[in-house]
Structure 1
Amino acid sequence: MATPKGFARFIIVLTTVTAAVMELIDTSIVNVALNDMSGSLGVSIEDISWVITSYAIANVIIIPLTGFLAEYFGRKNYYLVSMIIFTVASYMCAQSTSLVEIIAWRFVQGIGGGALLSTSQAILFDAFEPKDRPIASGLFGMGIVLGPTLGPTLGGYIIDHASWPLIFMINIPIGIVATMLTFYFIEKKEGEGKKKKSIHIDYNGILLLAAGIGCLQFVLERGEADDWFSSDAIRICSVIAVLGIIGFIIYELSIDEPAVNLRVLGNRNLAFTTIFTFVAGLGLFTSVFVYPILAQRILGFTAYETGISLLPPTLMAVIMLPIVGKIMSKGVSPIPFVVAGFLLFAAYSILTSQVSPNVGKWDFFLPLLLRAVGISMVQLPLINQAVAGLQPKDYAAGISLNNMIRQLGGAFGIAMANNYISHQYAQHRTDLVSNMPEGSPLLNQRVHTIAGGLMSKTGASLQDATHQAYGFINASVERQSYYLAYLDTFRLVAIFFILVIPLVAFLRVKKQSDAEKAAMMKAASEAH
């Protein structure tokens, strides 16, 4: 199949990057709409957060299987159907009138979305000559960075000016246009669809993967909200996750044509690279989760202001990604990029952990800039290291596993952050309250001062004003306790990044031929 040129290539780039960004936006756009959705559907915040959990579970199940499904059904057919599934599910999410309905459709949307992200990159890479594929990786990396960042910004704007169903409805015109462009401009791969009868379907492996990874994702996403092992659902899913994952590993290693080739983890380079990828996923997802909460809950930013504060520094990552791809295409070792990226992300976490509660949104520009540059410096290098030492035929399996580990790192990071914030909040609240015992002169003076101000301004009685004063002090203690807990969480993330850096000593750099580079980049596209 000839490599497309000019306008045809432009359309392919536009279609694939837009589809990937659309899917990634939907991973974070819902976060800022939970309050509105819970009120509209008449459920609690804890219940409505299932719309996030169901989407994440579907994503993490489908990502390691996309290479197999694209080969079985034909890549273009699989891409088209996935895009239609995503678009239809978006419409149904917007029309949902009950909690069960929207959770179910979000799961369906996640199935289609996971395939969009994976297959978009494969199609994009095929539009470039092997020597230019690092540039394609940079273009796609821009979408990976922009998507989660645009989500809160776009979601905040919609919630401020419209209603929550619009966060799903905006996918529909984009999905329709992308589907039409795919149908008319994206060619089938040579031999696509001719291998279907000869491909063995590993039903048992797929079932064990879905049960094990799906239940693990559920436990990580919902553990804190459901008080971990005091919940029957968490206990049952934990058992299924352990049995499913162990059964999956044993079964996949025992058959000749597994759905996911786990044998590649015997390669030391890939095994250690997955550790870096896990921590990178932890940092990326945790920062996107904790920073907006800190900004809105403690610092008083609106959802839209929070998103806007993320945009300018993120644009630097958009600029950096193609540059990193171009430098690596010249044979520069990826290891210095990995070390620099991890140090920059650690610096971001440390700087953010020292912010004053009175900062403005632009005071975060430098830390967020370090975060953006750090992310851009580890994306492609970690893909490169994942396959260093593997045979070209194993590239897709190695990168697929690496990407699944990144998703699990993100899920673990968010679960860890939730649990750690809860623990640190309780500790800080205890410490603060212990310094203000009942009847202490300092507390009494503070209460009298606040009560006196309320009485003079509102004409409230002494009893009511005193009661309100205690309420104000309690709210202040709550805010300070959460503020300190969020800062502690950023410090914890920095520790993860710093601790793994010495492990680069176990990574080896293999000089790749042009053919191996092309195979690696293509495998990265097909296994993303």
Structure 2
Amino acid sequence: MEDSLVEYGFRRVIITITAIFCALLEIVDTTIVNVALNDMKGSLGVTLTDVAWVVTAYAIANVIVVPMTSWLSQQFGRRNYFAASIIIFTVSSFLCGNASTITELIIFRFIQGLGGGALLVTAQTIITESYPKEKRGIAQAIYGMGVIVGPTLGPPLGGYLVDNFSWPYIFYINIPIGIIATILTIMFVRSPKYSQKLTLRQVDFIGITLLAVAVGSLQFVLEHGQQDDWFNDNKILILSILAAAGFFFFIWREIVAKHPIVNLRVLKDNNLAIGTIMSFILGFGLYGSTFIIPIYLQSILGWTATDAGLLLVPSSITTAFMMPLIGILLQKGVAPKFLVAGGFLVFFVYSLWSYQILTPDTGSEHFIMPLVLRGVGLGLLFVPITTLSLSSLKGKEIGDGAAFTGMMRQLGGSFGIAIITTYIGTSNANHRLNLVSHMPSFSPMVQERVKGLQNMFMGKGFSPEIALDKAYELLNFTVMKQAAVLSYMDVFMGLGILFLVCIPFVLLIKKGAGKVNVTDVH
């Protein structure tokens, strides 16, 4: 990084705020739509499968554009590219809100994802550039606050807007922020001087196409595999093969291309390779647990989307408090690998605690402290993983590294949600069978329970026959609810074991990693 790109005082404050708001816009929009899907479905007269494409289209566009961000910044200049991305995001937000058919909404949402995906990595690079080397840990902490808080802000904000206004407002809310961010970017953000730009003939269009096919196919398989019965569905099977072939040929192309769209050679750096894997696991845990908790609260405990989203706020506040402390620790020379190992350990304890408190009657007071602990774990993980990943890279490789960690975090989230959804679906059936096998209908205890429920319904004025049917219905509902609780318990235990297994690998990272030496971030 050129020293001239380091900012001080008022300029640095403005640039930091602008970059964080842009990162927040992108991440909030990843989760804000989830709570509005039902309203969209009714308003546009489509099925839930159709409206799920609103989420899928955005995610596919995100994952395609993130690895290309470093390259695109070099071609157009970082400030121009960043400003253009905000404009694309803002205009498409307006178009999404005005969409009158599901096809329009999906197309505009895809375009919004192309603008939004660029915001995340570029915002991180701009913040990193604006701070001197000794304050890099603080810079990553400030950026991390936006990235961690974003997924949690989406559901309650979306719930509030849908409950009090209507679903288009979840898109309209981006417009004033986007306009202000565009003006501030043009006025204050500066671009580094790039040594070369490619002519149109040198552009790796084959690489771009292969990346789009591979990532798009994989994202669709992950989003729709569960509802379409995975490989029993021809479409899922074909797209899985396409994804595998696409990645194979993409990797081959990027290795042999003279001007690759994604610099895979940078993965030879051991710290980045390990950091990329850890970013994937962080995404798995962050998005997976952010997804599973509201679903549990709504489906098992009957909470509203807004209330379920609000319960995650204490976790986000804790993470926000942790970020500056972690930045200071890194600045004072604490090895990032010890902070990451601590974060994985805390996440294991959080998962184990959640596993133990889950019942069909668990209240909000039981969730608060485990979620606060989750906030501590995320604080310990995000900044040190990013710092570790980029620690031994130099020059323009830093931008490539940031793009890899960003993409892997997003993919980790997609895998996490897909695997958790699939597991809960199959596990529910298995747990139900197991529970039913332990309570045969001729058992005196079961007969006594049915008789008690029948008497209760008869006391409410039902005939003996209808009361008996209702007694069996209620018993079946109780069994299904218990089976669902057991499935969620399994998920928390699985997440906990995943994080625990990571700790030894983190401690193997070579000594001295974490001192970021940035000379020309792209």
**1:257 alignment partner in structure 2:** 259
| Contact map agreement 1:301 1:361 (CA 8 A) in 2 | no
**2:503 alignment partner in structure 1:** 501
Distance 2:446 2:44 in 1: 42
**1:96 alignment partner in structure 2:** 99
Question: TM-score when scaled to structure 2?
Answer: 0.93
* Distance 1:2-1:65 versus aligned 2 partners, 3 A rule: closer
Query: In the TM superposition, what are the counterparts of 1:72-87 in structure 2 within 5 Å?
Result: 72-87=75-90
Structure 1 residue 18 corresponds to structure 2 residue 41: no
Distance 2:372 2:119 in 1: 28
* Distance 1:91-1:428 versus aligned 2 partners, 3 A rule: same
> What is the one-letter code of the residue matched to 2:517?
K
Distance 1:214 1:423 in 2: 26
**2:166 alignment partner in structure 1:** 163
Distance 2:58 2:513 in 1: 39
Q: Find the partner of 2:188 among 175, 186, 189.
A: 186
Gaps (5+ residues) in structure 1?
A: none
Distance 2:271 2:17 in 1: 34
- Deviation per CA, 1:35-94, whole angstroms, max 9, x where unpaired? 222222222223322211111111111111111111111212211221111112112222
Query: In the TM superposition, what are the counterparts of 1:303-382 in structure 2 within 5 Å?
Result: 303-355=305-357, 356-382=359-385
Q: Find the partner of 2:206 among 200, 204, 207.
A: 204
| Contact map agreement 2:125 2:399 (CA 8 A) in 1 | no
Q: Find the partner of 1:449 among 420, 442, 452.
A: 452
Deviation, 1:3, is 4.2
**1:470 alignment partner in structure 2:** 472
| Contact map agreement 1:153 1:305 (CA 8 A) in 2 | yes
Distance 2:493 2:192 in 1: 50
Distance 1:113 1:2 in 2: 24
Question: TM-score when scaled to structure 1?
Answer: 0.92
Deviation, 1:14, is 2.1
Query: In the TM superposition, what are the counterparts of 1:512-527 in structure 2 within 5 Å?
Result: 517-519=517-519, 523=521, 526=522
Distance 1:121 1:436 in 2: 56
**2:215 alignment partner in structure 1:** 213
* Distance 1:143-1:511 versus aligned 2 partners, 3 A rule: closer
> What is the one-letter code of the residue matched to 1:434?
S
> What is the one-letter code of the residue matched to 1:178?
A
Deviation, 1:199, is 9.5
Distance 1:469 1:285 in 2: 39
Structure 1 residue 235 corresponds to structure 2 residue 242: no
- Deviation per CA, 1:452-487, whole angstroms, max 9, x where unpaired? 322322x23333333333222222222111111111
**2:247 alignment partner in structure 1:** 245
* Distance 1:511-1:230 versus aligned 2 partners, 3 A rule: closer
Distance 1:189 1:335 in 2: 32
Deviation, 1:249, is 0.8
- Deviation per CA, 1:340-367, whole angstroms, max 9, x where unpaired? 0000111111111111332221321221
Identity of aligned residues (%): 44
* Distance 1:399-1:3 versus aligned 2 partners, 3 A rule: closer
Distance 1:310 1:345 in 2: 15
| Contact map agreement 2:360 2:481 (CA 8 A) in 1 | no
* Distance 1:47-1:77 versus aligned 2 partners, 3 A rule: same
Provide the secondary structure at the position in 2 that maps to 1:354: helix
Provide the secondary structure at the position in 1 that maps to 2:361: coil
Q: Which moved more, 1:201-210 or 1:305-314?
A: 305-314
Provide the secondary structure at the position in 2 that maps to 1:49: helix
Structure 1 residue 152 corresponds to structure 2 residue 155: yes
**1:223 alignment partner in structure 2:** 225
Q: Which moved more, 1:284-293 or 1:42-51?
A: 42-51
Deviation, 1:11, is 2.2
- How many matched pairs? 518
Distance 1:2 1:232 in 2: 52
**1:268 alignment partner in structure 2:** 270
